[in-house]
Structure 1
């Protein structure tokens, strides 16, 4: 496809004041296409991270410092099991996004709806028993994560409510992943920004007991999150049913189980599922190492991770954009265009990674002080942030390159890089730095740096090999 044709298509499809401004500033049609998909995802992820940071700040600033530290720690202890549970649905989502992008590029729109229904159905099939398991075993799971008795006592009820919220969150992931496959990222952004804003308001009311509501503390935060995810589910289904998307969807149309679709979902999604399981297993082992340093240090770690999540957003946004555009281009059998999209997305993302790293390094103490006024927490968390700020360009670049590989259906190598980086390098080096060299939280975060740098080398080498161009999706 010629660059002028790409630019004309983007101009026709993009809407809104922001899109008009981008069209005037960006002359390269490839970059324009990338930004058209990436900016709504970036806005969505950034605002979601900011809202999540505000949630954590609300808990960290509860007047009772002992309760506040335990509340922040309990959220950290429950996040990783939740992410582990979400990994199953996200794996199906990776396969669904890659397939829908290919079918969209090839003009086979009728097959897209069937793929989405497969992902939604199997997502519910896995998420319901997982949610039930979490409800019944909340204390045991938190204990396994290394939580101290006080954090478990405060956080168990929070965990149970989050398990209910997980059902709606899993459902939402299926729909947003499908929409991103066709490059329709503005609607998920608008819905997620709205419900996250409502979540923050709900948190303020239910955590502190405003407007006559009971002061529920950390349980109030979970209740608000579950309600927000339910609202998002309703709004996403309503959007699809109205027929305003190029992704056709209706509950009235009969669902036809297709073994070929299932095989593709398993073939593409299974490595991503295993990758996510390995990632979460590695992170859980990592958290067990950090939690052994005590509740206050773990609270500092959790604040640092909460801030670090904001730095992931640029890599994730550009990675999703590259995944969609690479898959779409390969659907059109244009490998040269797919390569251009992947390379320019990586370049743009790396530049933003440098900017994010600079901001994190300079403003580390200020950002941490928004969460807590505890000097020990501020010192430990800000020091850890300065360490991780250095690796930001490599982290962002590897997230984008991995997204390009997934968009092509090459999900096996990101699995290998995650296994080596997280489960081996991060865990072993963190153990050595913390327990042998006694470097505390700083040592643990040095393990994160080594992990990110190694994964950057591995996925970069895989992309340059070019084998992703020959992967076939039937």
Structure 2
């Protein structure tokens, strides 16, 4: 990848898939490690806390998918505009996507905080897990708008060719989260007896740092600027286009995540041990999807640039080339999980 004077890295037909996907693979791996570290550290603190956070996280994942409507759309729109060299439109797209996702995130965060009683009742969370689940929803759910902003900023950086930055941010927030968890559960802040609340505080703190770092990097590399002035007059047609692009992709993931949430509501009636077992199994299953997810995101960025540049034939070939490489590997990993289920 080469760079132009505006801080935008050029992505074309010669760009290697794994040059883009490699950092994303490590980033997703670190994100899964982050979630698993919460589970692992809480398992030594209180088994009921594992199930409580597992219940809360299932809801939070569902809401994060909603943020991906805009995040997914921007990965397509930005890539196409950059491929077509429409640099004068970029600041409008950046500002619109960040503003819409932050406002949407604040609304959903408020719903999580105010509606936590209804949510935990729908999930049939056991009385032993209920206080911790609601506490976690209060803290992490209340700060979920930070994730909404970060998702957009990360996609902007990726589409401009800075795919490694997400990996570096993931390393930083992992260290912050693990350090915070240790302090609250076993370290100098143990006397506060915050437990799950402490884990939630660590998670929100890590997300504050992640969003701040992404914004600082955006300006440091002179990729563009975020300004409300670019939205006058309001680009309603552009917003409609982004929703039209992002909704089908996010809708598919939303349906699957909602199904998982309904399934969890049944598992909650089977006892705390069943809930905890599901949390541990999901942690292992997530690793099977890392390669496919990272290559899919990288492929989306490259094909977006190719389509924007008018090279549809190369984009078509790239999609099927990626599928031929990743599908056998993903099936192999899933089979390995199944065969190793007893030892795992």
TM-score if structure 1 supplies the norm length?
0.66
Q: How far does the alpha carbon of each residue in 1:311-338 deviate from its partner, in whole angstroms, 9 at most, with x for none? A: 2211110010111111111111212211
Aligned equivalent of 1:472 = none
Q: Report deviation, 1:130.
A: 1.4
Residue matched to 2:155: 177
Tell me if 1:125 matches 2:100.
no
**TM-aligned CA distance change 1:207 to 1:30, over 3 Å:** farther
The reply to whether residue 77 of structure 1 matches residue 55 of structure 2 is: yes
Does 1:343 find its partner at 2:307? no
Task: Give the one of 30, 46, 51 matched to 2:34.
Answer: 51
Q: Determine the C-alpha separation between the residues in 2 that align with 1:230 and 1:35.
A: 29
Q: Residues 11-63 of structure 1: CA distance to partner in whole angstroms, max 9, x if unpaired?
A: x46xxxxxxxxxxxxxxx9796101110111000001112221221111122x
Residue 418 of structure 1 is matched in structure 2 by: none
Q: Distance in 2 between matches of 1:54 and 1:238?
A: 27
The 5 Å alignment of 1:203-352 reads 203-210=181-188, 214-242=192-220, 244=221, 247-251=223-227, 254-256=230-232, 257-352=234-329
Match of residue 9 from structure 2 = none
Superposed counterparts of 1:365-444, under 5 Å:
365-367=342-344
Distance 2:41 2:14 in 1: 39
Structure 1 unaligned residues grouped into runs of 5+: 1-9, 14-28, 63-67, 368-474
Task: Quickly say closer, same or farther: Cα 1:153–1:359, change in 2 above 3 A.
Answer: same
Kindly tell me the number of residue pairs found equivalent between the two proteins: 335
Whole-angstrom distance in 2 between the partners of 1:272 and 1:336 = 22
- The one-character-per-residue Cα deviations of 1:174-227 (angstroms, maximum 9, x if unpaired) are 111222233321112211221122111111111224466634221111110000
Aligned mate of 1:201, from 152, 176, 179: 179
Aligned-pair distance for 1:365?
4.6
1:427 alignment partner in structure 2: none
Q: Residue 208 of structure 1 contacts residue 217 of structure 1 at CA under 8 Å; is this kept in 2?
A: no
Q: Which TM-score applies when normalising by structure 2? A: 0.90
Q: Secondary structure of the residue that 1:183 maps to in structure 2?
A: coil
Q: Is the 8 A contact 1:176 1:188 kept in 2?
A: yes
Kindly name which structure, 1 or 2, has the bigger radius of gyration based on alpha carbons: 1
Measure how far apart 1:115 and its partner are: 1.2
Q: Residues 358 and 283 from structure 1, CA distance in 2 versus in 1: closer, same or farther, beyond 3 angstroms? A: closer
Q: How far apart, CA to CA, are the structure 1 residues paired with 2:253 and 2:332?
A: 28
How far 1:234 sits from its partner (Å)? 0.9
Partner residue in 2 for 1:89: 67
Note the alpha carbon deviations across 1:445-467, whole angstroms, 9 max, x for none.
xxxxxxxxxxxxxxxxxxxxxxx
Unaligned runs of 5+ in 2: 4-11
SS in 2 for 1:292: helix
CA RMSD of aligned residues (A): 2.2
Do the aligned partners of 1:208 and 1:216 also contact (CA within 8 Å) in 2? no
Which structure would you say has the larger RCO, counting Cα contacts within 8 Å and 6 or more residues apart? 2
CA distance in 1, matches of 2:165, 2:36: 23
CA contact (8 A) 2:157 2:218 kept: no
Matched, 1:147 2:125: yes
Task: Assess if the C-alpha contact under 8 Å between 2:139 and 2:200 holds in 1.
Answer: yes
Name which of structure 1's ranges 318-327 and 357-366 shifts more when overlaid on structure 2: 357-366
* Equivalent residues in 2 for 1:158-177, closer than 5 Å: 158-177=136-155
